[in-house]
Homo-oligomer: A and B are copies of this chain.
């Protein structure tokens, strides 16, 4: 059972004057990895929005910033589904530095929302099915 992970390079845009990745940007990195994880499973988020009428919104994030990631480093961001609800997902993610050290660890809760009304909606069956037997 292998965990999905996605490479992220640290550019100037990601850093701040303290010389490290700006803390809020780890949440961006994590979302990139979740997007690619869904894509790997066959789900494009623009189609989920336009055809299925849904989007996933982060409703809770618990993030530990453990070590600073630095300019120009090649990071990798993992995605591990830990709970699958009817209308929400829980995902654990780690951002690892070039030597494999964990820079940042997050537990995220995502809600499936109606893309227009931004109200909770059940996750489409074909997506649920794809998520059920993987992790």
Contacts and interface: CB of A to CB of B under 8 A. Distances in A.
Contacts of A62: 60-63
A101 interface: no
Given A12-B18, A13-B16, A70 B46 contact: yes
Interface residues of A, number: 42
Contacts of A63: 60-63
A12 B22 contact: yes
Contact of A31 (B13, B70, B115): B13
Given A65-B57, A68-B118, A12 B20 contact: no
Q: How many copies does the complex hold?
A: 4
A64 interface: yes
B57 A18 contact: yes
A128 to B, nearest CB: 21
A132 interface: no
Interface of A: 9, 11-13, 15-20, 22-25, 27-28, 31-32, 35-36, 44-46, 49, 55, 57-66, 68, 70-73, 115, 118
16 contacts: A12-B16, A12-B18, A13-B31, A17-B19, A18-B49, A18-B55, A18-B118, A23-B58, A46-B71, A49-B71, A57-B65, A60-B63, A60-B64, A60-B65, A61-B65, A68-B118
